[in-house]
Amino acid sequence: MATPHGRACAPSAGGRSTSGSGRSRSRTTGPWRKSKSSRRTRPPFQLSAPGSTFPHRRLQREEEEAYASSHVAHGPAAAGHASLAPFSKFEEKKTNEKTRKVTTVKKFFSPSSRTAAKKEPPEGKSASPSISRRASFDADQVSKDFVEFLKNLHKPGREIHKQCRAFLVSMSSKKDLGADELSECVQDFYQSLADRLMSHFKGSSESVDQVMDQVEKYIMTRLYKSVFCPETTDDEKKDLATQDRIRALHWVTVQMLCVSMDEETAEVSENVVRAITDIIEMDSKRVPRDKLACITRCSKHIFSAIRITKNEPASADDFLPALIYIVLKANPPRLQSNIQYITRFCNPSRLMTGEDGYYFTNLCCAVAFIEKLDAQSLNLSPDEFERHMS
């Protein structure tokens, strides 16, 4: 990889630097509407045994029943004027369920519970009760939003919901698979569903992308805990190595990287701080698309800082060294795990095209440069470099 002085490592828009996310699939599936005989012999969207249920997910089952009842209650004539009334009972049950969860947490924090908990041997890493409670609330909210979105699609919405639920059930039995195999399952599901949506929307890629964004959000919010930084990979080891490497390079300055950013200017300094905040915030997001959005916001703040400094539009040659500098300043948590998570589970169409894909590729280049950074990269003598690193 070339140094910032050569500007040769800045990729072109839409380029890819990681493996696994550019897989091309040509799976074809049947249309949305099938004849009666076809439905009898091969039910659409059937991905698992009909009697399967998702473990410990009673709320999800109630969600599906509530979704189905809303369409039965309103009928085809009122499909365009769906109200929230059929969901009142469902909302009440959700509220009761949340109340029970809060009560359970309170009991957990009682003195007797704490004493009993200390006797239990630790069984691996687990999230704190507050984090778990928040994650459960977020998952419930995402499910509710997903159902509301699908109601606008009427019958296809019901089929999409059915297929997503079946996919989650099938994934619950694949927790022992490696990260690449899990990625393959998710990407195959994306491709299969996108093909059917393309047939339904008669080639409208904008409509397909809109639905697939919602599907990704629903699916990956549910799967996040089991597929982010899985124990079957060395992602965590790479995270620690990258974090130590960045910490050791804390002395690198904008001048050494030839970055066109004057941090003495208040507006430039403000954009630098915002860029650092955005790249750090990436780790708090659960959906690949949301993580990409953090990278995009970070990159746009960098472009703004360069434009203000140079008083002219920033170029791609200016951007990559500046991004390297921001990553060194931020030292984002679990950087390698986040990059791998996006690569494995993001909708491939989003990574292969558009500004999100371009900025993500540049981030991958920046991390690769940091890993190989040496004296020559910074126009220093070997002795000077070693002196800084010691």
Contacts of residues 52-60 at CB distance under 8 Å and 24 or more positions apart, as own/partner, are 52/166, 52/169, 52/170, 53/169, 54/165, 54/168, 54/169, 54/172, 55/172, 58/97, 59/93, 59/94, 59/97, 59/140, 59/143, 60/143, 60/165, 60/168
Give residue 96's pLDDT: 59
Give residue 52's pLDDT: 42
Give residue 201's pLDDT: 81
Give residue 204's pLDDT: 79
Which ranges of 201-331 does DSSP label H, i.e. alpha helix?
Answer: 205-227, 235-248, 254-257, 266-281, 288-310, 316-330
Selection from 169, 375, 166, 358 nearest residue 256 by Cα: 375
Q: Within a 13 Å sphere around the CA of 136, how many CA atoms are in the beta-carbon half?
A: 20
Q: Which fold would CATH assign to domain 235-389?
A: Glutathione S-transferase Yfyf (Class Pi); Chain A, domain 2 (1.20.1050)
Give residue 67's pLDDT: 55
Give residue 56's pLDDT: 44
Q: Confirm if 193 and 212 have CB atoms less than 8 A apart.
A: yes
**Whole-number Å distance between alpha carbons of 227 and 222:** 10
Q: Which CATH architecture has domain 36-105+129-227?
A: Orthogonal Bundle (1.10)
Give residue 321's pLDDT: 97
In order of 64, 149, 152, the CA distances from 146 in angstroms are 11, 5, 11
Q: What is the mean pLDDT of each run of 10 residues along the chain (390 residues)?
A: 44 42 41 41 41 47 56 43 43 54 43 38 48 70 93 89 96 92 97 91 84 96 95 96 97 96 96 98 97 98 97 94 98 98 94 92 98 96 95
The answer to whether domain 36-105+129-227 and domain 235-389 are alike in fold is: no
Count other Cβ atoms within 10 Å, centred on residue 203.
8
Task: Decide: helix, strand or coil at residue 316.
Answer: helix
pLDDT digits (tens, 9 = 90+) for 225-283: 999 999 999 999 999 999 999 999 999 999 999 999 999 999 999 999 999 999 999 99
Contacts of 233 (CB under 8 A, 6+ apart): 178, 179, 340
Task: Decide: helix, strand or coil at residue 56.
Answer: coil
Task: List the structure tokens of 27.
Answer: 């799976």
Q: Where are the domains of the chain?
A: 36-105+129-227, 235-389
